[in-house]
Amino acid sequence: MGTLGGFALSDTSKLSRFESVVLVHLDAAYNLARWLTHDAAGADDAVQDACLRAFRFFDGLQGPSPKAWFMAVVRNACLDWLKDQRVRGAEESYDDELHASATNTTESTVARDSDAHWVRSGIAALPREYREVLVLRELEELSYKEISAIVDVPIGTVMSRLSRGRDLLQQRLLQSRERKRS
């Protein structure tokens, strides 16, 4: 590729490659960010930040799964965002959609949506290390190998975290259903 007035012509092709290789996973990135930050604006910021970082290192992108690579960048951006929030002493952010509460809905909607309500608040309440592997496995259907690359832990750890996370969630759902019955 030549240069023209110092501007590399290859840049436009880099941008379009970035779109088709990385930005196609934007929904997955945003979904993960939303579950990690519990905050719509935070997820926006973290994903934007992740795209800039990913674009900078895009040329060095190696490996079989661009999605796993990008999701790892997104996860790091989310952890940085969370750290930032803690440093600022911000209140625990509260995602209205995640914690869709029963107080402002009518009785019949509560009854109809209660399973959905318990599932989403059950996941939201899990400690982060269980929540992230569960979201990556159940909502993104990624393999243990990909999750291990994203979260940067051995496959055995992915397996035990998934197992523990499901135990916790199962208990919680069971309790909430019993409470509902009584």
Partner 1 sequence: MNCTRLQQVLDAHIDDELDRNTTGDITTHLSECTACAALRDQRIALRQDLRAHAPYFNAPATLVPTIRRSLGRALIQSEAKAKPRATGLSWFHAAAFATVAALAGLIGGYWLAQPLPDYPLRDPAVASHVAALAPARQLIQIASSDRHTVKPWFQGKTDFVPPVKDLSGEGFALLGARLDQVADRQAAAVVYQIRKHVINLFVWRASDQAPDAIASASVRGFSVTTWAADGLRFAAASDVDTRDLTRFAQLVAAP
Candidates 97, 101, 112, 154; binder of partner 1 (CB under 8 A) is 97
Q: Could you say whether residue 133 binds partner 1 (CB under 8 A)?
A: no
Q: Could you say whether residue 111 binds partner 1 (CB under 8 A)?
A: no
Q: Which of residues 48-87 bind partner 1 (CB under 8 A)?
A: 48, 51-52, 55-56, 67
Cβ atoms of 29 and 70 closer than 8 Å:
yes
Where b means 16+ CB within 10 Å and e means fewer, 145-155 reads ebbbbbbeeee
Q: Could you say whether residue 138 binds partner 1 (CB under 8 A)?
A: yes
Q: Could you say whether residue 173 binds partner 1 (CB under 8 A)?
A: yes
Q: What are phi and psi of 11, to 5 degrees?
A: -60, -40
Q: Could you say whether residue 110 binds partner 1 (CB under 8 A)?
A: no
Of 72 and 123, nearer to partner 1 (C-beta) is 123
Q: What is the chain's alpha carbon radius of gyration, rounded to the nearest angstrom?
A: 19
Q: Could you say whether residue 34 binds partner 1 (CB under 8 A)?
A: yes
Helical (H) or strand (E) element with 8? strand 7-8
143 to 172: interface string for partner 1, x by CB under 8 A? xx--------------x--xx--x--xx--
CA 71 – CA 46 distance, rounded (Å):
11
Q: Could you say whether residue 178 binds partner 1 (CB under 8 A)?
A: no
User: Considering CB under 8 A, how many residues would be counted as binding partner 1?
Assistant: 56
Q: Could you say whether residue 27 binds partner 1 (CB under 8 A)?
A: yes
Candidates 82, 140, 150, 151; binder of partner 1 (CB under 8 A) is 140
The DSSP line for 25-92 is GHHHHHHHHHHHH--HHHHHHHHHHHHHHHHHTGGG--SS-HHHHHHHHHHHHHHHHHHHHHHTTPPP
Q: Could you say whether residue 6 binds partner 1 (CB under 8 A)?
A: yes
